[in-house]
């Protein structure tokens, strides 16, 4: 009885395998794409296919709210201190992301290595920055007159370097030059650099402040290295410039 059921299911299994391993009809040498890598960026890019199996993709994108919050939440899930994460959440408002993705294709599927550079910028109050550095809470200073002079704001910038692995799947749209690509990936922040600058130039020239900036940079670098794990899900609309092969 089990053999009979297996034989009945065999055509469907063979059809599924054929679909997965069959070549993409709209696969081309030159491809343009737009889409999103959640929760990292909104992006556009170009992909060049060397042959039936190997391709290289380059992308440029923007990291905007609420994506920045999801990255922080991901780091929290891996143990990132919530006091630090709240400070980063308040600080970073906009980022640019550059991505390079070598791919190996087999039929409609592909595996990939993903390298990324992300530059995140924003601002944070000095009070919050001190709380981050001291790992403590300070009294609320919002009611103090001349607050900008007593608690100036800091502009912040973090340059992050990520690497990861992923799997993708192509879905050609029949009788068009378009296809939809979906990907799942898992990346790790392996390097970072963090810069700070206040809105009071004389403050930045103090050696004590420069030392504080360096300590902040070291703390953030260690946190990114230890807890910077970023899973992602991507969806792209791809246009094949050369048409179907």
Q: What are phi and psi of 192, to 5 degrees?
A: -160, 160
**pLDDT of res. 137:** 67
Share of the chain above pLDDT 90, in %: 39
Write out pLDDT tens, residues 186-242.
999 999 988 888 877 777 888 888 888 888 888 888 888 888 899 999 999 999 998
Write out pLDDT tens, residues 121-157.
887 776 666 666 666 666 555 555 555 455 567 788 8
pLDDT surpassing 90 at residue 27: no
Looking at per-residue pLDDT, the higher value among 206 and 161 belongs to 161
**pLDDT of res. 25:** 43
Q: In whole angstroms, what is the distance from residue 50 CA to residue 55 CA?
A: 5
Q: With contact defined as beta carbons under 8 Å apart, do 137 and 146 qualify? A: no
Q: What DSSP line would sit under 93-151, residue for residue? A: EEEEEEEEEEEEEETTEEEEEEEEEEEEEEEEEHHHHHHHHHTS-----TTSTTHHHHS
Q: What are phi and psi of 24, to 5 degrees?
A: -75, 130
pLDDT surpassing 80 at residue 4: no
Q: With contact defined as beta carbons under 8 Å apart, do 127 and 135 qualify? A: no
pLDDT surpassing 70 at residue 2: no
Q: Give the long-range contacts of residues 84-89, CB within 8 A, separation 24 or more.
A: 84/132, 84/219, 84/220, 84/223, 86/128, 87/124, 87/128, 87/129, 87/131, 87/132
**pLDDT of res. 174:** 93
**pLDDT of res. 9:** 58
pLDDT surpassing 80 at residue 36: yes
pLDDT surpassing 50 at residue 81: yes
Up-side HSE of residue 99: CA atoms within 13 Å toward CB?
30
**pLDDT of res. 19:** 43
Share of the chain above pLDDT 70, in %: 74
- Across 81-95, average pLDDT: 73
Q: What are phi and psi of 166, to 5 degrees?
A: -160, 170
Up-side HSE of residue 76: CA atoms within 13 Å toward CB?
14
State in words which class domain 2-240 has.
mainly beta
Write out pLDDT tens, residues 39-58.
889 999 999 999 989 999 99
Find the largest Cα–Cα distance for the chain.
85
What are the structural domain ranges in the chain?
A: 2-240
**pLDDT of res. 143:** 56
Looking at per-residue pLDDT, the higher value among 17 and 119 belongs to 119
């Amino acid at each position: 009885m089990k053999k009979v059921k297996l034989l009945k299911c065999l055509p469907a299994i063979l059809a599924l395998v054929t679909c997965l391993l069959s070549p993409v009809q709209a696969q081309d040498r030159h491809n343009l794409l737009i889409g999103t890598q959640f929760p990292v960026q909104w992006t556009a890019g170009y992909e060049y296919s060397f042959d039936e199996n190997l391709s290289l993709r380059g992308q440029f994108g923007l990291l905007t709210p609420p994506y920045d919050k999801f990255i922080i939440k991901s780091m929290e899930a891996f143990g990132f201190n919530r006091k630090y994460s709240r400070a980063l959440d308040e600080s970073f408002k906009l980022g640019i992301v550059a991505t390079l993705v070598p791919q190996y294709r087999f039929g409609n599927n592909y595996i990939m290595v993903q390298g990324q550079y992300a530059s995140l910028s924003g601002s944070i109050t000095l009070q919050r920055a001190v709380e981050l550095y001291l790992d403590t809470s300070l009294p609320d200073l919002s009611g103090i007159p001349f607050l900008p002079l007593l608690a100036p704001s800091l502009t912040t910038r973090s340059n992050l370097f990520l690497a990861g692995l992923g799997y993708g799947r192509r879905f050609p749209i029949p009788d068009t030059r378009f296809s939809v690509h979906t990907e799942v990936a898992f990346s790790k922040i392996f390097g970072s650099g963090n810069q700070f600058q206040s809105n009071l130039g004389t403050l930045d020239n103090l050696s004590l402040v420069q030392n504080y900036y360096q300590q902040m940079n070291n703390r953030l670098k260690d946190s990114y290295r230890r807890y910077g794990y970023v899973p992602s899900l991507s969806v792209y609309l791809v246009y094949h410039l050369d048409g179907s092969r």
